[in-house]
Amino acid sequence: MSRELVLVTGGTGFIAAHCIVQLLEAGHRVRTSVRSLARADEVREMVRTGGAEPSGIEFVTADLLRDDGWPAAVDGAAFVLHVASPFPMRQPKDHDDLVVPARDGVLRVLRAARDAGVERVVQTSSFAAIGYGADPGRPFTEDDWTDLSNPHLTAYVKSKTIAERAAWDFVERDGRGLELAVVNPVPVFGPALGSSLSTSVELLRSLLNGRAPVVPPGTTTGVDVRDVAELHVRAMTHPDAAGQRFLAVAGDPITFHELATLLHERLGADARRVPTRVLPRWLLRAGALVNSDLRAVVPQIDRRQGASHAKARRLLHWDPIPTEDAIIASAESLIARGLVRP
């Protein structure tokens, strides 16, 4: 059983907490960074909810916007899972509010990891860094990159693309043998371990609580957070993962109407507030004239952004949970945790 020390950045996060659970179950020692030690008990409780014993977790304070804290965070670590990155519910007016901490944060982590002799860093990027370029006429793969010259990109899409580009450039120019692997998840569903939720799970929560009379047009892809964490752990140690990107996606896109129907079929009365009417496209486009969040959605409403996990399956033997099961696991956990109105 391994006793190597792994640093997981942003331990209070949705994906990070599941990574910690799986690392502990695999026998690794875990250290995690938080912006305040006051949140250590929150992390321990999430890990306990996930089924692991949290007593041995080490905590350090470190912030993506500051240099101090990172040398201590990586000291003695064999591997780093750099999961921390801002993901807002609303798009900021100034794109740099997301781009700067995402880009500078990953460079701080990589620089500290290199100087400390870390073997490999696994960075959590996103499908956002892959799927907003020219339509390849096939499912997106790890060979595709988002086109930063696209004037319709949101701040989040820009931040993930620029941060991942910066990471690869740093390792190539200044890595001095530091290995990098990158995981690019599509929208992440799956069980909530605490109050920290992905944006996709927040959307489910909003639907289950009846906060909207309609569902948006268009489609989404999905992946279970447990599979995303597993892919991080596999990419951390597998010899063939160094220097590779891995798309984390479970299956074909589904429409939001299909998602709402799935909730009704599988949850019954617990989904009674979930709308099944679809917002007309013309109304969405009209709203986009005055709402920047809607404006960011409009270019995507008629896209079926299929993506392939063939590479992760082939190299890392990764076999994800179906998207529908991930969505239901999200919803059931929200209900169980009292995050949906009774």
What gap in Å lies between CA 260 and CA 278, rounded to an integer?
10
* SS3 state of residue 262: helix
Question: By percentage, how much of the chain surpasses pLDDT 90?
Answer: 76
Torsion of CA 111, 112, 118, 121, to 10 degrees: -60
* SS3 state of residue 246: strand
| Boundaries of domain holding 87 | 5-191+222-249+306-321
Burial of residue 195 (number of CB atoms within 10 Å: 0-12, 13-18, 19+): exposed
* SS3 state of residue 207: helix
Q: For residue 232, is it within any domain?
A: yes
Is the CB of residue 20 less than 8 Å from the CB of residue 7?
no
Q: For residue 132, is it within any domain?
A: yes
Which tens digit of pLDDT belongs to each residue from 115-151?
A: 999 999 999 999 999 998 888 889 999 999 999 998 8
As a whole number, the mean pLDDT across the chain is: 91
Q: For residue 290, is it within any domain?
A: no
Is the CB of residue 323 less than 8 Å from the CB of residue 221?
yes
Burial of residue 77 (number of CB atoms within 10 Å: 0-12, 13-18, 19+): buried
Where b means 16+ CB within 10 Å and e means fewer, 94-125 reads ebeebbbbbbbbbbbbbbbbbebebbbbbbbb
Show the beta-strand stretches assigned E in the chain.
5-8, 29-34, 58-61, 79-82, 120-124, 179-185, 188-189, 219-220, 223-224, 245-248, 254-255
Q: Which candidate, 81, 78, 153, 88, places its Cα nearest to that of 117? A: 78
What gap in Å lies between CA 200 and CA 203, rounded to an integer?
5
Which tens digit of pLDDT belongs to each residue from 190-230?
A: 999 998 899 899 999 999 999 988 888 888 899 999 999 99
What gap in Å lies between CA 263 and CA 301, rounded to an integer?
21
CATH number, residue 51: 3.40.50.720
Burial of residue 285 (number of CB atoms within 10 Å: 0-12, 13-18, 19+): middle
What gap in Å lies between CA 75 and CA 28, rounded to an integer?
15
Q: For residue 276, is it within any domain?
A: no
pLDDT of 283 > 60? The answer is: yes
What gap in Å lies between CA 284 and CA 294, rounded to an integer?
7
Phi and psi at residue 244, in whole multiples of 5°? -120, 150
pLDDT of 1 > 50? The answer is: no
- Whether residue 93 lies in the annotated active site: no
Q: For residue 256, is it within any domain?
A: no
Q: For residue 212, is it within any domain?
A: no
Which tens digit of pLDDT belongs to each residue from 150-206?
A: 888 888 899 999 999 999 999 999 999 999 999 999 999 999 999 889 989 999 999
Give the predicted TM-score (pTM) of the model: 0.94
Token pair for 330: 């999200």
Catalytic residue among 93, 158, 160, 311: 160
Q: For residue 157, is it within any domain?
A: yes
Q: Which candidate, 183, 337, 335, 185, places its Cα nearest to that of 274? A: 335
What gap in Å lies between CA 111 and CA 115, rounded to an integer?
6
Q: For residue 200, is it within any domain?
A: no
Across the range 47-70, mean pLDDT stands at 95
Number of domains in the chain: 1
Question: By percentage, how much of the chain surpasses pLDDT 70?
Answer: 92
